[in-house]
Amino acid sequence: MKMTPQFRDAILEDQHFFLSFGTELELYSGFERNDDAFLGKILRRGESLFKEVNEKFKAQGSTDENLTERYRTLLISQIAWQEREAPNPLPVSKQDEILESLTPMQESNGDVEKKNTMK
């Protein structure tokens, strides 16, 4: 890619090649950190390819909300599978109780703390 920019650009233009050469494009971007034009192309290409998916998830809420809901659904499905002999699904209050016992909420203020490197 470094020696033949035409090949690199052809990969960026072809949707199938772009997805197939993800690792190589990542390596190239790491080796050529000063190639702002290339990084811009990768960014625009990725945004273009995943636009529909990103819009779908944004319409459902934030990334954290989406992941939390999918995790919650997975846990509830696993619990229901384990208790499949029960003819009725668990009430929502019971589902919430089980989930809270399995995954307690961890509060975070979002600050990044400096590591103490002194011993």
Dihedral (Cα; 39, 45, 48, 52), 10-degree rounding: -90
Burial letters 44-62, b for 16+ CB under 10 A, else e: ebeeeeeeeeeeeeeeeee
CB 84 within 8 A of CB 77: no
28-81 pLDDT, tens digit per residue, is 888 888 889 888 988 888 888 889 988 888 888 888 888 888 888 888 888 877
Q: Which residues contact 17 (CB under 8 A, 6 or more apart)?
A: 10, 11
**Mean model confidence pLDDT for the chain:** 81
Tokens standing for 66? 């989406």
